[in-house]
Amino acid sequence: MRRVAIIGAGQTPYGDFPGLGVKELFAMAFKEMLESVDKGIDPREIQQAYIGSLSAGSGFQLGQLAPLLMGHVGLPNVPAVRVENACASGGFALYNAINAVASGQCDIALAAGVEKMRDVSSTKAKYWLGISGDTEFERLAGLTFAGIYAIIARRYMEEYGLTREQLAKVAVKNHYHGKMNPKAQFRQEITVETVLKGAPVADPFTVWDCSPTSDGAAVVLLCSEDRVKEFTDHPVFIIGYGIGSDYLALQDRDSITSFKATRQASARAYRMAGITPKEIDFAEVHDCFTIAEILAYGDLGFGEKGEVIRLLEEGETYLGGRLPVNVSGGLKSKGHPIGATGCGQAYEVFNQLRGRAKNPERQIKNAEVGLSHNVGGSGGTAAVFIYRREG
């Protein structure tokens, strides 16, 4: 199989854009992607497109979104397909695009994600997000995703002595990072007290434990190893990648304080890359709720379950620490436009590895290997990617 590199990436700011539909959001990210290709690229070089989206605006254009978007940027005849695994749709779009290049079906493929969530009320948004849980055993019983993750958080607190304050520190860290990211939805610092005093959502969560609903799009351009030099001398290679799945309903799982899908996806990615978690310089992980980042630390092998709380307590996952996590602000502060998230993570890793985090204060220094981690729903699916800069 052929090695695959990222040669360009673009991302809209995440947030509330009443004047922009999915087409405009996609075009904005697409334009930045083109401009990021060091030696330039004729868009007609793009041979295939894989686009992640859960529901493209709560029902606006559920079917065949991918060719619709490619048509809008003037590339109607680039074969395009939508890939959907809830909040991991972007990660799985990236996965399938890599396979298309690795298998030799094409040399240059686009992976992207887009979601338009702010054009409906949050009640409606909650409803359509619920379609990604187990409908029979969770959604129809009235469980929202905040409720599902709150159950997980309570259990984790019980089993590992995680405190409410420690949980809040995930949000505090990610808002600290997000404040520096000009593309983040929330650019304000918060304190543990802010989190604890926030409006209750699902015990133990307040609104500050939850990622927002967001509009946004992200685009990543992939190239086969043999053609990379035509477009850049600073490619970022995807040296390992893996996917995993599990039962959707929590009740069916062996454990609810760990996501088996993440463990499997990361084990595959580490094996393919031939490295251990210790060699990861920084990571973008799926913190849809504060507890999710704590789960990710353990499931990605950053430390033992329970013991990983230390990473946060001791500042290791802050920018400047041993293993910065979610320097973008994460889903919590940067925003979480469902289908876009997985490719938006790749955008951040790509720019950090190339020393182009834009705002110098948020640039991770001397990083060579990055990781991104995208979760579908409450752990029904996961995709993990390991990146290394070469040049």
Catalytic sites, residue numbers:
87, 336
Pick from 242, 274, 234: which is nearest to 98 by CA?
242
> By C-beta, is 4 or 210 nearer to its own copies?
4
Residues forming beta bridges with residue 10, ordered by sequence position: 219
> By C-beta, is 54 or 236 nearer to its own copies?
54
> By C-beta, is 40 or 76 nearer to its own copies?
76
**Tokens 């001398």 correspond to what residue?**
233
> By C-beta, is 216 or 380 nearer to its own copies?
380
Q: How far apart are CA 30 and CA 26, in angstroms?
A: 6
Residues at the interface with its own copies (CB under 8 A): 1, 48, 54-55, 59-64, 66-68, 70-71, 76-86, 92, 95-96, 98-100, 102-105, 128-129, 131-135, 242-248, 252, 260-261, 264-265, 376-377, 380-381
Torsion of CA 231, 235, 239, 244, to 10 degrees: -80
Task: Write the CB contacts of 356 (distance below 8 Å, at least 6 apart in sequence).
Answer: none
CB of 137 to its own copies, least distance (A): 10
Q: How far apart are CA 247 and CA 204, in angstroms?
A: 24
- DSSP character string of 40-68: ---GGG--EEEEE-SSTTTTTS-SSHHHH
> By C-beta, is 28 or 87 nearer to its own copies?
87
> By C-beta, is 335 or 376 nearer to its own copies?
376
Encoded tokens for 216? 């946004």
CB of 167 to its own copies, least distance (A): 25
Q: Specify burial of residue 365 (Cβ count, 10 A radius: 0-12, 13-18, 19+).
A: exposed
Other residues' Cβ atoms within 10 Å of the Cβ of residue 68: 18
Give CA separation, 40 vs 36, 155, 229, 233, in Å: 8, 51, 11, 12
Task: Write the CB contacts of 275 (distance below 8 Å, at least 6 apart in sequence).
Answer: 239, 240, 369, 386
Torsion of CA 32, 36, 41, 47, to 10 degrees: -70
CB of 139 to its own copies, least distance (A): 9
